[in-house]
Every structure is written in structure tokens, then in C-alpha cells.
Structure 1
Amino acid sequence: MSPGRPEEHDVTTRLSRPGLRGREAELEQLRALVAAVRDGEGGAIALLLGEPGIGKTVLLREAVSLARAHGFVISHGRAEELHELAPLASLASGLLHGDPPLLSGTDFADLAGHHDQRIWLVERLAQLIEERSAGRPVLIAVDDVQWADPLSRFALSVLPARLLSSPVLWLLTSRENPEPYGQGPPATTLPLRPLSETALAELARDVLGGDVPARVEELLDGAGGNPFLAAEILSGIAATGADGPEPPERLVLGVRGRLADLRPDTLHFLRIGSVLGRAFSLADAAALCGRPASGLSAEVDEAIAAALLHDDGERLLFRHDLLRQAVYADLAPSVRRALHREAARRLVAAGRSSGDAVPHLLKSAEPGDTEAIALLGTAAEDVIAVMPDLAADLAVRALELVPPRAPMAYDVGERAIVALTRAGRYTQARDTGDALLARRPPLDVFARLQCVLGDTLWHLDDVQELTRRTTTALAAVTDPAIRARLTARHALVRSRGSDLGAARETGERALAEAERAGDREARVLALWGLGEIALNAGDCAAAVAHHTALSVFDSAFLPEEAIALIHLDDFDAVRRLLRTAGDLPLRPAMLIWTQGTLNMGLGRLDDADADFVTAERLEADLHVPGNLVNLRVNRGLLAMLRGDREAAREHLDVVRAAVADRPNTGNHATHRYFEAVVADAEGDHAAAAEFVRTVQRDHPFLRWRLLRPHVVQAVRIALRGGDRELAEDLAAQAAAHAIRNPTVPTAQGTAAHASALVNADHGLLERAVDILLDGPRPLSLAAASADLGRALLTSGDAAATPALTRAHDLYAKAGADAEADRVRAELERATSRPGRRTGRLRPRTDRGWAALTTSERKVARLIAAGHTNRSAAEALVVSPHTVNTHLASIFRKLSVRSRVHLARIVLAEDDAGPAVDD
């Protein structure tokens, strides 16, 4: 803070107030963070860590007061031990109750209405917080994060990075260090140590006044430096003197002593409260006591007078969780269990949600408790979309409660398999299913279990086992809907095989069965399978037709429709689809992969790289890195186009590790092609050609959709490796693909280009260029133009110069620096003078304005002009997630932490004049 500010006048007094003794250094750090965020230095995170009673909450409240005095919008929430099933409850407890609240009830209702997509929900929440923080800094404080519900924990792990450039201070308390915060602002961790003897002595003087007797100092030693225990001891001494039991037993015994003085009804009421949690509603306690709430006023008054509870106007709270634990610990284990079971029963009877009752069931249910099994199953279904791991835990617990031979085990087990698969716990899901199958269920149950296990095995990439099981189940099934699902799954599996004609027949039969059975899941699977089969076969128009029908039926498959359209060269339709998807709670990682694939095709390499980085980050957030190999292969190929071999090798290392972890033929193909490109660039042409040959070990090169745009490069690699037969095979595949797709310019132009290279045919190169001029892919056109220019240059034809110039300009505009430099050198030879430098041909640096890509500069200027991430994304027609990725890179390269600092740099750069590439 600047000297002389009015809020600075009483810092010394504040730091030495009772309750903050010994925490002067920590409070000073928090004060500095508050000032830094207020003064526009970007977001920040502070973590207050320590055991119960160590003073975390007191320090947090003081920081909240400091921030409020500095004009912050405050969200002060608390996680509750028994609220783990209420999505976003820990954050919502503060977001909705500030003065003014950070979010309105309408805002939160909008979030709650779309809570079935975690990433969408957090993005929307980030947008709302970003908008609020545009006018005033924001403090989001959450106490007891160790008890936060899974969705709040997820949001807290993602939001700081998403709001990196906004003036948001995150202040969290926890008994242990929570999970890391990714690419967010650096966290200031404040582990609260036991108070020093000096601080304890000062605390004693605050409470007792005057000098502290030696006996009191001895008793305070027993508190272990814990300020809450010390305060309780001092309160007891102030009331009864220094004689009595030693801590820490003193706290439990002290509470027990207070309880002994209470009326029996009050004691029962407090014990009920301790079972319900630190904070509980009077209505819930009354229901569990079996009395009307209006009849408990005497008990409430007596508990408050005994300094055990206080009333915040909405709920009753134990004055400290250690007090609740002391009351709870005084209950016999069997009594606790019975009270939790009764609490669950009463809450259900009172019409409360399964989420309120299930935490009590987890502490009390015993095998054979059918009511608990049903409630756990309902709770799992309620939270599976937004908290899949928790849903899986609940579903597994329900299965554990089912007696081994009970028929209901199969239904409960089926739900557990689905939940475990949704949570990405595929091996556990398969093992659970196999344990149920080992009980030899009836044939229809057998088929149903194999049906749900199909999704599990698909994610495990165990296609052979999936084929075997599906075939076996089809022989046993009688239920038409299950038969349709199994047939559809069989078609999807066969999409990865060699006989795509037979696969198509299976898919068409599955779709007919699904329509007859009226089964939605079977229809989705059948359309998905038919779309995949068509795309793998290279029938792009049919793939679009199937995927369009699928996305109309289920909008979650819109990315698949967009990918199919990209293969059809209909980039305008893809843009329209992506704009449509912008406000839908779809699969964001897949959507951004689609956007990156489009940008790759458009030759917008910087944007494509940012998209792939973003998609990988989103997959990592969700712990489902299913597309990691393809993402890193594309990023590696981009790095090679730029001439950054070091980055390409780093990507290749990640790909090798990922393929070793999840080997499948698709990953094998893309990985081996990437190996070929790197080996070829390093001069090992024989090894590169061998890598391309291994791509075709299971299927032809063009069977792999990701590799289709690279068939010309594969032909070059084969020719440089001396394998003309391989080159001819690749060119023949390209020709066959062109015949299947007569209206797709890229397919036609690529086929002509590949054949021209194999046959050294200048005329075919000219034809390839003419076709690709009408297509949407500038890099394909650049490659054909460069090869044409080289061929003409060899023959001494003056037409070489315009062909090479076109190739150079296209590469330079795309940011393919290495290719642009190579063509420029050939231009210099063609003209016998230094080549003209168009576009951005400069060495890449790691830091400073010059290090920013063209896209990053656009983002920087928009953010500096006051745009939010969302409005910048709308202006650039990209995802807010991608804007955030750009911002993180901009901040790193410019060594800034806030939008204020960024705006100063942008202003200075613009005053200095526009850069060549802007």
C-alpha cells in the first residue's frame, strides 16, 4: 500500500489484537497480497494450512475484513463435512451471500440448470466472476477446503488459472495441502505453526490480565501451541482457577463438564447436532429429536449460553469444530451409528434430497440395508454427470451392501459398472463386471452386463476382447433393446477392422433394430458406428450424413459432425457448427480439438497450436487424456513446420510414453508417422521410410484419418528412402480416395500431387495446384506450388518464380517458418538475388513482445482494450478456453501478471509503431 492511505493507520493495533497473537507475519503477508491484487498486479492464491484450532479461520476472517475495507467484492464460504454430495455447495455458500453477493440468485440458477458438464459450468462461473472483477477486485475465501464437495474442489483447481489475469484473490484454509492449481497464479502457502511461548504469554495476559502465574504457563504448555486449546484453557482458568486436568484431555473433559451441567433434553439436542455436522438447521435437529422446532427454544438458548453453539440467523453452529468433535467423541460408537442411520431416515421422511441423507448412510449402513442401497444408487445417479468419481464411490458402496447371493446384485452392479466407466476407472469397472459374471447370472442378465461392459472395454482399447464378448452376448440375448445395443456396439468395433463393408452391414442392421426397439442408446451407438465406418472407409459424404443425423439426435456428437465436414472440405459449415456450439454445454475438449483441426487445415498454425494445448489441458483437468497422442502428434508436426526440432522431439517423447501406456492401432499409426517425419528431417531417410511402412502394418496409410492430409509428405519420405514401391502404393491409395470423394478439392488435388511426385510429372503438379486453388487448405496448396516451382526451376522454366513465390507467401502467412525459409532460398536461386521477405520471417524468441505469435498479439490488444475472455473469444471466433491459453502464454512471455501490466506494454508497443507482421 502507498504511505498515508487512511486504511493504513492502525496496522500495529490490528496485528496485536487478541485472537491474532503470534500471527503478525502471516497477516502481513495476507495484507500485502490484498494490496497487490487491489493495485492491479493480477490474481493470487493464499493457502492457510494447519491442524484444527491453529487459527486458520481467525486469520481468514481478518483477511476478509482487510479486503472489504479495500473495496473488494467478498465471497466467504465454508465447506461442511457432511455436504460432499451437494454440487458446488462449498463455493456457493459464499458466492450467494456477500454484501453485495458475487453472484445473483439468477446467475446461480443458470449454473445449476447446466450442472451436467463440469467444464462448461466452470467456464460460465469464470465468466461471471471475470465480469464482476472488471470494476472491483474480488476475494473468494473458502474455509475448511479439505471437506469441499468434489465439484467445488474441481472448480478451485481450475478457476485460478482461468482467471489468471483478473484481480481475484483466492484465500483457502485446509488441514492438509490441497491439490495443485495448474497454470494459475503462484500460490502463497502459509503453514500455521504452533504459537511461541511469547505469543501464548501475550494471549494469557489478554484473557487474564496482569502477570501470568507459573501454573498457568505450565497448563498452556499442554496446549501444544494450539491457540484454540489455549483459549479454552484460559477461559476455564478465568472461570474456575488453574487447578484441573491437563490438556488436551482438558478440552474434552471441559466440554463434558459443561454437558454435565445441562438439562438432559439439551444434552440430547447437542448430541443430535454433533451428528448433523458443525452447522445444522433447527428443523433437521427437531426432526431427528422427534419434536417441533418451536419446542426446542430452551435447549437452543441453554447451548448458546454454555458457549457451545451460536446462531448465525439461518443455522446453528458449534462455536468451533473441535467443540463439535468433543461432543461427538463422547458418544459411544454404536450410538453414533444409530443416530446417523436415524438421521438419514428422518431426512428422507422430511422430503430432503438423497444428497442430504447419504453422508449419514455412509457412516451407518450395514449389509442388507435395502433402503440404504436404494438411496446410494439414487445419489450416484444424481451426481454422476458432474461428480463421476463420487458417483462411482457411492455405486460401489451400494454394491458392497448387497448380500452376495441377492438377485438385486446384478442391477446394483450394472449401475456400478456404468459409474466406474464414466469416472474413467475402467479396470475396476471391468473387474466388477467380471465378478458379477462369475456368479453365472441368467442369460438376459449376462447379455445386459456384457452390454454395459462394452463401453468399458472400448475405453480400454481392448477391441479383440470386446468383439469376443459382444458376439457371445448376442447369442444369449432375447431383449430387443439390448440386442440392438449389442449389435450397434459390434458395428462400432468392426469400424476398426479391415472389412468395412461387413461393418457397414452390421451398422445398418443395428440401426434398424434400434428403431424397431425404440431404444435411444442403441440408435446413438448405431449412428456413431455408421459414421465411423464411413469416415474410416474414406466415404466422407456418407460420414457427414450419419454424423449429422447423430448430432441432430444428440447434440453431444456435434464435434463428430464437424470433423466429418472437415474431411469433406466444407470449412464454412464447420465454422457455423462451432459458432452454434459456443453456448451449449457440450464436450469442450473435443470441440476445441475440432477447432484446432479446422485451424490446422486453414493454415492458422498459431491458433491450431493454442487449440491443441487447450484441449490437452481440458482433458488433463478431467483426468481423461484419451486424445493425447493425436494432440501431441499434431503439435509435433506444427513444430516441424516452424523448424523447431527441439519442441518436436519433446512432443515425440510424450507420444512414445502415451503409446506405451495405451497401445492401439490408431495411436501406433500416428506415432509411427511422426517418428518418420522426425527421422526424415534428421537425415535418416531409410529409417523414415521404414516407419511409414509400419504405419500400414494393420491398415493402409489412408485408413488413418489423421494422416490423410500428410500423404504427400509420406510419398516424399518413401522416395527419399529409396522405396518406390511404397511411394506408388501411397499414391494409389490417394487416387482411390479421390475417386470416393469426387467433390472434395483436397482429395483430388492431393491425389494429383502424390502421383506427380511418383511419376515426376510437371503436368500433374500443375493440375494439383489448379485444383487446390479452389480448396480451403493453404498448406496443401503451398506444398504443391513449392514442388511445381522446384520442378520448373530444374527445367529452367521462368514460371518457377511465381509458383515459388506463392508457396513462400502461403507458408509465411501460416507461420510455417522452416518451409518458408526453404522456399525463399530456392527463390533466391531462381532469381539470382536475395529473396523478397514477406510475412513474418524472424527468429522466434522466448521472451518479450517479439516472442508473441500473431494470434497472441491480437488477444493481447483485445484484453488491453478491456475485453473479457469471452468477448475477446467472440471477436476472434475462438473458444474462451483458447483465449485463456493465449493469455497464459502472453503473461509468461511478457513476464506480467495482470491485465493492467499487459495494457501498459501494449500501449508502449503501439506507440512505437506497428510490427511488420501485425
Structure 2
Amino acid sequence: MATTTDTVHPDALGDLRDSVDAMADGRAPQQVLLLTGAPGAGKSTALDRVGRMLGERGVRVYRVVADEIGRRRPFGLMSTLLGLEEHYPPLAETPDLVLEAVEKRCADGPVALCADDVHHADADSLALLGRLAGTVRDLPLSLVLARRALPVRESLDALAARPDVRTLEIAGLGPGGLDELVRERLGAPPGARLRELLAVTGGNPFHAGVLLDDLRRQDRLAVVDGETVVRGDGRDVPTSVQASVRAHLALLEAPARDLLRLLAVWGRPSTVEQLAAVGGTSALALVGAVEAAVSAGIAGWNADDELAFRHDLFRDVIYADLAPPLRRLLHEACASRLRATGGIATQILQHDTDAAEPIPPAEALRIAASDLAHAPAQAADVLAGAAQRCGDGPEADAIALARAGALAAAGQIAEAERVARERLHADGDRAARYDLTRVALHAMVSSAHVGAALATIDDYLAGDPPESERTTLRHLRRWVEVLEGRGPVVRTMPSGPRSGAALVPAAMDLFLAGRCESALELAVEARDAREAGGSPPWADGATAPIWPAWFALYARGPEAARAESVEARRRAQERGQGWLGPLHLFVAGEIDRVAGRWDDTLAELDTGLEAAALTGSGWLSRATAGVLQTRIRRGELDGLETAQERWRLRGLPEQFGLPMTALTTILLAEARGRQSEVVDLARTSWTTTLDGGRLLWALLAGPDIARLALDVGDAALLRQVATDTAAVPVDEAVALAPAVDLVAAVADADPDLAAAAAAAFDHRGHAAGALSAWEEAAVAAATRGDGDRARTHARRCTELAASLGAAGTVRRLTARLRAHDVRLGVSGSRRRPATGWQSLTPTERQVAELVGKGLTSPQIGSQLFISPRTVQTHISHSLRKLDLRSRVELATTVARHTS
């Protein structure tokens, strides 16, 4: 779906009534509304009107206004919006606590979260808003956000680009809206002269309101014959909002002006007591100034009894007009007050920065470090401000490195590379240049920009760096080659220190060569080495925590791998390694595929791919192929050719040189009955992969390629696959070992050997392998003319297929047996219905029952050892199958079916 932006006048929001009705009922295709406009254009008015319309329809509306200084409170906007206790430094579980709070509120009915001025929001709250935008699929939740286009916030631009977000450009009031504004304020519509003056404002509600206030204060307006008319020639009517604001201020006494200047520098709503303490006076002494500011319409009281500007344009003009020495003085006073009261370090740093105080880089780095573990986006934001003030030299290098590293940890890969490269153009010292190069390389590698990464490494090595740097970059170069599948597998251990950077590519080479147990041991050593060394997220084998679970899958089986995967994800959350989340989900999805939990596979992989789209990861071939192949085996073929073409157009590499998407093409052609069209592709991909030493491919794809060769009558290819697979050592790939016998059974049409492979796969917990083996046992028996035995084995296959939802496998088996005059009759597997309670998978039912008990997604995820995002995916599937709109309805349905 293409993203479009509609333009609307704030007075025309009534035209959105049908859309608001759909949002209130949870029927809208886009439950997220993003309002954008210039200062004073009416964003807040529009947001309030939408919120009011939702409230009139029974939706509980929560509203918050972001402010500039609040940008320095990690998770501050979301905590304020939901009434959560704020922690500094932030807690690892804060994102889950936010999601939990939202779900609890939604359990009592539809909820709308409205946030104004989100261009001021802290970076981690913006990230959470992006995450919540995905939850509207399974919660009675609407998000209504208002922002200025400037300053640019990349996360808001990314949110606006999502197809499930509706964006509206607020273009100011139309003539009818301006008439209504005058009528509301003065009791009668404007006359011709006043309409002419109001037209100068361009429909900007704030400008128009200030103009009316000025004219009324000058006693220039009167109601005559049912119209509001302007007295005088109008030559002295203000023509800009800045002049209007200054005119307001000029009428105030000095104490009130001073109070408003202090409020503007403080940067957010404040109690009178706070302002008095900053100004070194008493609250009682400010009473008169406060009353004057409120009476003038410049300030007012918010819901928390704090003094706030009635519009942020007042603050903008007052702040801009402050003489720099006075501005610095007031920022120093604010920083001093925050220090005395234990204020948040990042806010203190912001005031110090705005006061042009020379902030020691060590102090900025210390503050950022306190945020980095669980609020890396906030840390990057803090360091961006520090970078503007620290000048050049070693301090700038340190700030840039920390900032790029924080961006990398936050999953903002492209921005991390930009920051690192920008600083690399400066004349820093060698150590700084090396570290910045490594951060840039981390970003390039994560994005699958292989050519650029290799060229950067080679350029750096050509500069004759110290041996320690040369060694590390050579290890990284090897890792890039392994990732892309460039060149043959290397089976020798690296020399020198056993760092994470050295061990990760060596471990992957062993894994690809089929030595899965040795690879697992080496991967665990790599992970422990980088953790013991305190390596930053972007260095020393950054992806080391991912691989032990994948290697364990084939070395020891899916249950051992599942335990390793759960522990790896727990450690990632504790260590603030959220950027690894999609990669962990990809491994979890593959574990579920092997174990036969195919619905869970799709939930994990789809969730991971959605998360990877935000981080910019380019290593998606295994996950993409996993989704498509699972759907093929389930017989869900609609739209798969289109999905394949979209993947092809992206031009991303096949990770590790394993031709997973090529195998997808083969399986889809087979499912369409066009096997002969892909024989050449099967032969080429098989030969190329194994010639490169990636023997694991024979165990992973051998049964599928052998079946294809058998069915098209390509005896040479079948013989080659059988010979190659038999030559693969399987003593360290226990979970895949039965594949050797299975391929031999296909080549020899041996039902006994195929049945033995099925039993061996089943014993190892490899349900997908067992399914394939029972299919080949049935076909082999039919080939030998033993129809009864073929039907017996086919029954085992269809029973297992029913539990997996493998309708595609059953259709293929039926067609293959029919070619040998063996009919399955009506004894085939029963398909799970597409809708209704019986359509829920075991995991979906388990999740639904926990929803019925009142558990939130984080609580369910903790209990089932899956991510909260995956829980949301299961709930979304359940709501669709049951034709429900909310968790409340799901809980009611669960109670009806389980009572």
C-alpha cells in the first residue's frame, strides 16, 4: 500500500467523522493518525477535536504534550502518558512495562493515546510509539499524534511512511473556520474588513487568534448589525505573530515578563514553587507575575496544576528574543536547580549545553553511558547535542564514536554509519580513526553492503596499520566473506588470540562444513570472550550471541536449541542488545520449523522481518525463504510468486552462500506442477554450494532435491545427490544425520530405509524431517508395487501432516501415489478449519487462554519463552480467525469454550 498524505483544515475535521467512527470501533484500516503542520496551523486543535470525537464514542482518551526539555527524559513521554513511574537510569524492562500498561487499559475497552508536539518527544518514546503502531492489530487502540515537520525526527518520518499510518497535513483554517473562530470569540461573524485582515494570517489559527486579541485589546472591534467590524483604518494592525506576541509582552510589567522568560528557558510546564526556586525567590513573590501572565492569555494552568504556555509559539518568540547572556544565565540557574534536587542528568546536560558551558566530554560520555544499556536512542540524542559544543580534536572523536555506537545499539544502522563516516573526514588520531572505521564497518556489514565493507577494509589495511588493527580487520574481512558465501569454506582455526572477532567466522565455517558440535563449542567461546572483554555492541564478533542456538539445533536437536535460544534472548534484553532482536527471532523461527511448530515459525519469522525493516538489516534470505517455504509446505500458494519477485528486486545476498531462496523457487515450481522447469536451477545450486565446502547444504536440501530428481526422472542428478550426501560426515550433526539414509532411500526406492529415517528423525524431535521421510517411505513402497504398505506409510505421513498443517505435503503425496495407482481414499488427513475456535493452532489457543486469564503480552511471552511481539502476532491471528476485534472479546470467547 502506498503512503499518502491528505491535506485538511482543522475546521473541516468533521469530515473525518466516518473515519473516527471506524477508529472507535476498531474497524479502521489505519488506527494511527499522524497530524503534521506548521507552528500555529492548528495541530493541537485538530488533535483535540479528534480526541473529543473519539471520547464521544466511548473511547477513553489519554493525552500528553511533549516539551523540549522532556526530550532528555528517557521514556518520559510514554511514562507520562500512561502514568508510569519514571526510572533513571532506565530499566531493561521499560518497553515491556509500557506495552503491559497499554494492554491493561485496553482490557477495559477502547483506548486512544493522543500525544501533541511529538517532535519534542524523547527518542526511546518515539521508538515505543513505532512499536505500539504494530499492536493496533490486536488491541482496541488508536494513536493520534501531532508534530511539526521541523525539527526532523527520523523515527517520525519512518512512522509516517508506514502503510498502516494515516497522515494528515494541517493546512490552517478555511474561510468558514475563520468565521467560526470569530463567532466563538466575539459572538458574531466577521465583516468584510475583518475577513480581509484575517486572510493575512493564511488561516493559521494561532495567528488569527493573536490578531483578534490585539484588535480587541486596542478596542478596535465592535459588533454592528450582527457582524464583527474593525474600527479605524487598520494601518497599525500587526502583520506577524512575532510582533503580536511582543505587543502582548510589552503590556506586562517586568516581573511577569521575567517569569515568562524563566518558564521559556525551563522548557516545560512547571509549578510556581519550581520557578521560584530557580529564580532564587519565594512562590508568594511570584503570585502577581503569574496572575498577570495568565490574564494576558500567554500562560495558563494544565491538568497537573503547572504553569504552561498556552501555545508553544509564545515560548519560541520569548526564548528567541532573550539576549544570549541572559539566556545563558537562566540556563545555568535551571541546571543548578536540577543538580540540587537530583534532576535527570540528561536534562542537566541540556541546560549546560544551552548555557554554552564547556561540558567536559567525560561528563557527556558518562551521562550517555547511563542511558546506553536500555535507552540507546536517548544516549545517541544526548551525544548529538554534546557534539555541537565540543569543538574538534580528541573530544569530538570520543563523542562521535560513542554516538555512532549508541545508534548502532539502537538499531539505527544507517545513521550510525553516517555519523562515523562524517567524523572520519576530520583529522583525528589513528586510534579514533580505527574505532570509527569499525563502527562504520559494523553498519555496512549489518546492511549487507558487502562491496563497500570489503573496499573500506582493504583501504584501511593499505595504510599499514599496527598489527593488532590489521589482525582484527582481517578477521572481520573473513566474516564478511563468510556472510556472503564468498569463496570456499575454510576449516582451519585462526591463529593468535581467541577473540570473538576471530572465533565467529571460524565457528560458522565449521557449521557450514557440517561440524555442528565443534561449531557450537566455538560459538559459545566467542560469545563468552566478547562478554568477558566488555566489547561494545559493534565490535569483536558482534553477532556472537546469535549463533549458539542455531548450531545447537543441528548438533543436538530442537529442544536443546530452544533452551539456548530462550536464554540468548534473555541475555540480550539484560545487556541492551535490542538490535539483535530480529536475528534472535530468525533462529527461533527455524527451531520451530524443524520441531514442526509451523504456526509458531511463521509468527516468529514474520515478527522478525517486521523488526528488521526498522533496523535496516540486509541478511534476510534465510527468514524470507523460511516463511515462503513453510507456506508452500502448508499449501498456501496464493501470492507467493509476487513475494518471490519482491525479494528478487531487493537484490540482497543469500546469507552464508546457502541458496535458500533458490530452493524456494524449486519448491514453488514443484507445488505448481512445473518441476521440469527448475531442474537446471536445482543442479547448479547443488553443485555450486557443495563445491564451496558447504556440506551442510546436502543434509538440509538433499531430500528435496532428490525427490525432485526422482519425480522428473533425472537419474544423473539423483545419483549425484545420493553420492554427495553419503559423503558428508554426520557425527557432529546428529539432528540431520537421518537425511543421509533418507536420500539413499529415495535413490534406491527403499521403504524400509525411509521408514527407519522417519523413526530416527522423530526420535531427534525433527518433525519436519520425519514428515518428509514418511512421504518417501510411502512412495518407495508404491514404486515396488506394495500398495498396502504404501497406504500404511502414507497414513503415518498424513497424520503427522495434519498436526503440522502441511496440506501441501499431503497434496503432493496424493499425486505421487496416484502415479503408481495407489489411492488414499478418504483416509487422508483432516485439515484444520480456516475459521472458528477449532482453527486456532495449539500456540494460538494457549496464548488466547492466557489472555483470558488477564495476562499481558510481556507476561505471556515470559511464560511461553517467546517475545511479546510474537505474542501479539499470535493474538492478531486468533482475532482474525474468530472474527473478533479486541482482547476483551477474545477473553470472552475463551471463557465460553473452556468453561
The normalised TM-score by structure 2 is 0.78
Partner of 2:117: 144
| Distance in 1 (alpha carbons) for counterparts of 2:718 and 2:330 | 72
CA deviation digits over 1:421-480, x for unaligned, max 9? 4466667766776776677876656655555555345333357447646866896146xx
Structure 1 counterpart of 2:886: 898
Aligned length: 847
Secondary structure class of the residue paired with 2:813: helix
Q: CA deviation at 1:389?
A: 6.1
Question: Which residue of 2 is the match for residue 915 of structure 1?
Answer: none
Shift of 1:688: 3.0
1:628 maps to which residue? Answer: 620
1:750 Cα deviation (Å)? 0.7
Identity, % of aligned pairs? Answer: 23
Tell me: CA distance 1:728–1:83, structure 2 relative to 1, closer, same or farther (3 Å).
farther
Bigger mean CA deviation after superposition, 375-384 or 40-49: 40-49
**Offset, 1:833:** 5.5
Match of residue 546, structure 1, among 504, 513, 522: 522
SS at match of 1:840: coil
Q: Which residue of 1 aligns with 2:870?
A: 882
The equivalent of 1:510 in structure 2 is 497
Task: Tell me how far apart the structure 2 counterparts of residues 209 and 678 of structure 1 sit (CA, whole Å).
Answer: 70
Residue 164 of structure 1 is matched in structure 2 by 137
Match of 1:9 in 2: none
Counterpart residue number, 1:854: 841
Aligned residue number for residue 743 of structure 2: 754
| Residue from 313, 329, 332 that aligns with 1:322 | 313
Please state whether the residue corresponding to 1:504 is helix, strand or coil: coil
Change (3 A) 1:167 1:615: same
Q: Are the structure 2 counterparts of residues 212 and 348 from structure 1 closer, same or farther at C-alpha, using a change threshold of 3 Å? A: closer
Whether the 8 Å CA contact 2:799–2:829 is kept in 1: the answer is: yes
Deviations 1:542-586 (A, max 9, x none): 233234455667599654322122112432223434555676626
Map residues 369-448 of structure 1 onto 2, 5 A cutoff: 371=359, 381=369, 406-419=393-406, 421-422=408-409, 448=435
Residue type of the partner of 2:450? D
Once the two structures are TM-superposed, the CA of residue 156 in structure 1 deviates from its matched residue by: 1.9
Contact 2:552 2:560 in 1 (8 A): yes
Amino acid of the residue matched to residue 593 of structure 1?
F
* Cα separation, partners in 2 of 1:165 and 1:43, compared to 1, 3 Å: farther
Matched to 1:808, the amino acid is T
Give SS of 1:112's match: coil
Q: Tell me what 1:241 maps to.
A: 219
Shift of the alpha carbon at 1:110?
A: 10
Deviation at 1:238, TM superposition (A): 3.7
1:813 matched to 2:789? The reply is no
Of 609, 621, 641, the match for 2:633: 641
- Return closer, same or farther for 1:417/1:194 CA change in 2, 3 Å cut-off: closer
Give the conservation status (yes or no) of the 8 Å contact 1:762–1:791: yes
Query: In structure 2, do the counterparts of structure 1 residues 202 and 645 end up closer, same or farther at CA, with 3 Å as the change threshold?
Result: closer
Change (3 A) 1:155 1:26: farther
Distance, in Å, in 2 between the alignment partners of 1:211 and 1:418 is 58
Tell me the alpha carbon deviations over residues 59-89 of structure 1, each in whole angstroms, 9 at most, x when there is no partner. Answer: 6557767877988665321111343333222
1:595 to 568, 582, 588: 588
1:79/1:142 contact within 8 Å kept = yes
Match of 1:92 in 2: 79
Please state whether the residue corresponding to 1:75 is helix, strand or coil: strand
Shift of 1:267: 3.2
| Cα distance in 2 for residues equivalent to 1:867 and 1:733 | 54
The residue type equivalent to 1:574 in the other structure is: A
Instruction: Describe the shift of the 1:894–1:122 C-alpha distance in structure 2 as closer, same or farther (beyond 3 A).
Output: same
Larger RCO, structure (CA 8 Å, separation 6 or more): 2
Unaligned 5+ segments in structure 2 are: 1-8, 151-155, 221-231, 533-542
Per-residue deviation, residues 874-915 of structure 1 (Å, max 9, x unmatched) = 77664432232233344455654334555788899999xxxx
Deviates more, 1:136-145 or 1:862-871: 862-871
- Kindly tell me: are residues 182 and 734 of structure 1, through their superposed partners in 2, closer, same or farther at Cα, counting changes over 3 Å? farther
Q: CA deviation at 1:153?
A: 2.1
Are the equivalent residues in 1 in contact too, given 2:265–2:327 (CA < 8 A)?
no
Q: Is the 8 A contact 1:42 1:167 kept in 2?
A: no
Q: Which residue of 1 aligns with 2:223?
A: none
Write out aligned runs for 1:615-694 (5 A): 615-620=608-613, 622-658=614-650, 660=651, 662-663=652-653, 666=656, 669-681=659-671, 682-683=673-674, 685=676, 687-694=678-685
The 1:833/1:726 distance shift into structure 2, 3 A limit, reads: closer
SS in 2 for 1:819: helix
Alignment CA distance shift 1:254-1:862 (3 Å) = same
Residue in structure 1 matching 2:92, options 114, 118, 122? 114
Superposed CA offset, 1:593-615 (max 9, x none): 22211221022323212221111
Gaps of 5+ in 1: 1-19, 97-102, 116-120, 512-521, 912-918
Q: How does 1:420-569 map to 2 (within 5 A)?
A: 421-422=408-409, 448=435, 451-459=438-446, 460-462=449-451, 464-465=454-455, 468=458, 476-477=466-467, 489=476, 492=479, 503-506=492-495, 509-511=496-498, 522=499, 524-549=500-525, 554=531, 559-569=546-556
- Secondary structure at 1:173 match in 2: strand
Give the whole-Å Cα distance in 1 for the aligned partners of 2:877 and 2:162: 12
- Contact 1:157–1:182 under 8 Å retained in 2: no
**Match of 1:544, as an amino acid?**
L
Instruction: Describe how 1:750-829 pairs up with structure 2 within 5 A.
Output: 750-759=739-748, 764-765=753-754, 767-797=756-786, 798-825=788-815
- What's the TM-score once normalised by structure 1's chain length? 0.77
Contact preservation (8 Å) 1:597, 1:608? yes
Distance 2:464 2:509 in 1: 21
Contact 2:300 2:310 (8 Å CA) reproduced? yes
Deviates more, 1:56-65 or 1:602-611: 56-65
